Amino acid sequence: MKKINNSRREFLKKAAIGSAGLSIGFSAKSYARIMMANDRVNVGIVGFSNRARLTLIPSLMKHAQRMNFDIIGVSDLWNMRRELGAKYLNEQTDHDVRTYRNNDELYADKDIDAVIISTPDFAHALHTIEAAEAGKDAYVEKPFAETMEDNRRALSAVKKSGIVVQIGSQRRSGK
């Protein structure tokens, strides 16, 4: 007896293939986007800083297609930075990105899988805790925290949530 695979991925693949013949103007690019959408990691930027613009986002974009990442949103409390971030990211990604007035809005978006935390140094651990509580994987700039208490709280939140966290060392690994 043949085993039936009822996974979401298999269903979407078969549905996409079946509907491809019915679609007029269904391009290879859009087909690839649908086929890979289930595996794509959608990223939100927490804080549109100069480091995000000059280092973090360009680094991610170099590998985005190969690694199937896409930046879909930016959160910043400051309207000017949020608007600059959206304009910059729209150009980099070739699509409109979502904007969020605060991190709560970004973390509430079920489409966001991971975040790049690019905020002032004193806020990195706090934002990592927020990411963990929201179940979002995180890339965090250094320094990670200013106190051992912040380190311990963030470590506890990360362990409890099971998210993946990477802490960067841009000046050590950059040019």
What's the rounded Cα separation, in Å, for the pair 165 and 120?
18
pLDDT at 171: 61
User: The pTM is what?
Assistant: 0.74
Residues of the chain with confidence (pLDDT) below 50:
1-2, 4, 11, 14-16, 18-31, 35
Beta bridge partners of 165: 138
- Pull the structure tokens for residue 24: 């007029």
pLDDT at 7: 56
Q: How crowded is residue 112: how many other Cβ atoms within 10 Å of its Cβ? A: 24
pLDDT at 143: 86
